[in-house]
Structure 1
Amino acid sequence: MDNLTNQQHKILVLDANQRSALASVRALGDLPQLTIYTADSTSQSLAGSSRYSARYLQCPSSETDPQAFLAWLTKAQASDQFSLVLPVTEITSQLILLHHEQLPDVDLPFAPLDTVMQLADKSNLLALAKKLGFATPSSQRYDSTATLDISSLTYPLVLKPCQSTLYRDGAWVKTSVKVVKSEDELRAHLARADYLKNSAFMIQAFIPGHGAGVFCLYHQSEPILFFAHTRLREKPPEGGVSVLSESAKVNPALKILTEQLMSAVNWHGVAMVEFRIAPDGTAYLMEVNTRFWGSLQLSIDAGANFPKHLVCLALNLPCEAITPYRTGQRLRWLLGDVDSLYLFLKSNRKLSSKISRLLSFFNPFSPKTKHEINRWNDLKPAIFEFKIYLKQLLGLD
């Protein structure tokens, strides 16, 4: 790769309807050496609406039409000669890594597929964690539902597919982790989750407590950047996607565990390492997401600019020095927060809780809170998102 820092580079940010794609485009927008292209399967997109996207390309869906997507990417790379391609979803990144031989000119700032699957495959991760001496939930692996003896199980339990996405016969299947509280609930879930009939999964003990994560960037096995945040509100309210979050200090003990894990696989790229903290303080390793995360914009606002450091390192570009990021910085995904409020108010919670939640939603904006999509210097993504939201609300989509 050319070491000249004044060379102009074209990069392609894929999965442009993802909030993490928009955060990446905005984070990279002030680098004068870059021309940013964006792409997704819709005629318009969230990140493609940004003023930092020089050109938007509509492409086949990597999820529903993967072979057509690969053919499109081959032609796009030959035509535009991208210095770097940046997918932000697990499906797109794994698809490209799976077919790297037919995409020899496509450069990704990620580890090879074998390394990725050491962490992304939860049974491989569990074996590695045990080898490293990490605390892990009691688990039993099954190759299919045919080998599962339901009568021997105790509840609650966690049914965890070994992979969050499965690539079978040229198509993708999304899986889900399920906390199961009874045999009837388990049977109902197994009947719905048809993919479990012929794919590996684990039955794990349920660990009470709370979740904690460490976000990291590595470059050729070297740790570059770490970040942590606290989820303040989620959609759905009982646990899900973060709609209001706050930057926090990285827990030193969790950072040590993360470094041990990433060093063991010679990691390269970004990742989110998830732990479950039990009431006694034990940190159980749960899973690793080998991609950018939904609340990426929060780390950027706080001063931990993962996309910029990732791209600068990959392209040998000068980048600002890494300094301690700000804690207490908040990020709000407004329309996600609206959905979360609606779900909270329609639940069977106490009236006092609903009033408190309503008041917190309409609290005066804190100077430490920024809106994820709504930015005065880049308004078009917010307008695009609102139009899509309104169409879905009115059933016009």
Structure 2
Amino acid sequence: MNSQPLTSGTLMFDGGIGTTISPSDAPLKRPDSQSRLDRVLILDGNTRSALAATRSLGMKGVHVVVADENKRTLAGASRYCSERFTYPSPTGDLEGFLATVKRECSRREIGVILPMTDISTSTVLRHREEFEPLRVPFAELKAFEALTDKWRLFQLAQQLNLSMPKTQFVRDINSLGDVFQALKFPVVLKPHRSMISSNGRWIATSVRYARSVEELKAIAARYEYFSRHPFMIQEYISGQAEGVFVLCDQGKPIVFFAHRRLRERPPTGGVSVLSESIEPNPEAQRIARTILEHVGWHGVAMVEFKVSAEGTPYLMEVNGRFWGSLQLAIDAGADFPWLLYQSAIGTDLDKVKPYSTGVKCRWLLGDLVSLWKVLISNGSGPHPLPFGKVQSILQFLNFFEKASRCEVNRWDDLRPFWLEMTQYARELGSSFVKRIVRPRI
């Protein structure tokens, strides 16, 4: 399937700031009418990016269908979701996932499909021909694999002589001894993927920190995604976390957006819970452009950096899909879901004003969890907390900051927030019960 061309431009945000179907191999109906192109399927409905995309497209009159493994989802709870359905897990029942999504796309006359996570994106791209003639406005699988596999990404960054942390590539745990002399602690252990298939199952990976050789050995032996798979050991870079977000047309970056993370979960570095739109760091923008042009990228991508006190941006990773803090870009005027949808249906992008800087977006639940992590911390981690406990409390209680909005809880669309809080309360309750009934030896 050929992706549709784009025309350069940036759009301002115009709105202020199921059931499980049995698998079927029925052929997809051809979305040859404009009405079908007005119908979009968003996968991974319980992600914040899916919620942001649903609101963005739904506000503009697009018929949004939300799907997920679960019946109750953030995007599915939005007033801007028109229909919803569930599908089998792509990691546990690939054939069921493909058959269900294909059947529902045909039955609901979907014209465009937007996956939101690495798993669903790679699955759709790997089986792209099966979804034709649906529009899938993403890069080819080869390019996606080149950037989302961190081992390959940093090998490429070295070849292109781009700024990145000093990196040791470890093919297996038995070769660890070969790299010890080159290490300066603390170091970062980074898996080559965010999700890894191992022994017929998928496991979620996580970055780990080590302050000594002994701690490094223990971590590598403890976690399967280190002990049985390739990984990297990188120098720890302290500094400001920033992201450069890009929309590309067949290898040509045409829209840029940037933000900096003001608070994260966990507080020592991770997912953004409070971020602010900024002008792109020129060198970070150059690095992002170089990488994306090199692989011939198409569609959206997020390129993450740590910017040192001297102003040097160090490449951290690339996400070849929508990102968690997507709502900030939309609020600031870089409406990536709408831009990507327009690219999918072949509509020229209107040239309007660039996005606004200084706009902030807050994930309230994530911010609350981050605050709790600060309050219970004893300061024994591999690197210090960014703020003290009193300062963290005062920052959290600042609900009236100018140009700041909450990401999930919006007054005109509150159901996703209530669902999110309900889901979290259930998770806490389940965790508490497990601790109470855990057998004591």
Do both share a fold (TM > 0.5)? yes
Q: Secondary structure at the match of 1:357?
A: helix
Residue aligning to 2:27 = none
Shift, 1:218, TM fit: 0.8
Deviations 1:250-301 (A, max 9, x none): 1122112211221111110111112233344333222211111111000100
Matched-pair contact (CA < 8 Å) for 2:118–2:321 = yes
Choose the corresponding residue for 2:89, options 34, 37, 61: 61
Choose the corresponding residue for 1:30, options 50, 59, 65: 59
Q: Say which is worse superposed, 114-123 or 19-28, in terms of deviation.
A: 114-123
Report sequence identity in percent. 42
- Runs of 4+ in structure 1 deviating by more than 6 angstroms, as ranges, are 1-7
Matched-pair contact (CA < 8 Å) for 1:63–1:92 = no
Residue aligning to 2:41 = 12
Q: Secondary structure at the match of 1:395?
A: helix
Shift, 1:174, TM fit: 2.1
Residue aligning to 2:325 = 295
Matched-pair contact (CA < 8 Å) for 2:135–2:345 = no
Distance 1:185 1:376, change over 3 A: same
The number of residue pairs the alignment matches comes to: 395
Q: Would you say 1:332 and 2:323 are equivalent positions?
A: no
Shift, 1:46, TM fit: 0.6
Distance 1:144 1:291, change over 3 A: same
Residue aligning to 1:237 = 267
Residue aligning to 2:74 = 46
Q: Aligned ranges for residues 119-268 of structure 1 at < 5 Å?
A: 119-149=147-177, 152-153=180-181, 154=183, 155-168=185-198, 171-268=201-298
Shift, 1:168, TM fit: 4.8
Choose the corresponding residue for 1:274, options 283, 288, 304: 304
Shift, 1:321, TM fit: 3.0
Deviations 1:149-177 (A, max 9, x none): 26834332222222222245654232222
Matched-pair contact (CA < 8 Å) for 1:5–1:317 = no
Q: Would you say 1:362 and 2:390 are equivalent positions?
A: no
Amino acid at match of 2:60: L
Shift, 1:97, TM fit: 1.7
Amino acid at match of 1:235: R
Take 2:236 and 2:398, find their aligned partners in 1: how far apart are those partners? 36
Q: Say which is worse superposed, 168-177 or 140-149, in terms of deviation.
A: 168-177
Distance 1:138 1:377, change over 3 A: same
TM-score relative to the length of structure 2? 0.82
Take 1:356 and 1:283, find their aligned partners in 2: how far apart are those partners? 27
Q: Would you say 1:381 and 2:416 are equivalent positions?
A: yes
Q: Secondary structure at the match of 1:94?
A: helix
Q: Secondary structure at the match of 2:84?
A: strand
Take 2:136 and 2:352, find their aligned partners in 1: how far apart are those partners? 23
Amino acid at match of 2:147: L
Unaligned runs of 5+ residues in structure 2 are 5-30, 380-384, 434-441
Amino acid at match of 2:42: V
Take 2:201 and 2:128, find their aligned partners in 1: how far apart are those partners? 17
Q: Say which is worse superposed, 169-178 or 107-116, in terms of deviation.
A: 169-178
TM-score relative to the length of structure 1? 0.91
Residue aligning to 1:79 = 107
Deviations 1:168-203 (A, max 9, x none): 565423222222111222122122211334322222
Residue aligning to 2:20 = none
Tell me which of the two structures has the higher relative contact order, counting C-alpha pairs closer than 8 angstroms and 6 or more residues apart: 2
Shift, 1:91, TM fit: 1.1
Take 1:244 and 1:276, find their aligned partners in 2: how far apart are those partners? 16
Take 2:91 and 2:217, find their aligned partners in 1: how far apart are those partners? 28
Shift, 1:221, TM fit: 2.0
Shift, 1:56, TM fit: 0.9
Distance 1:346 1:205, change over 3 A: closer
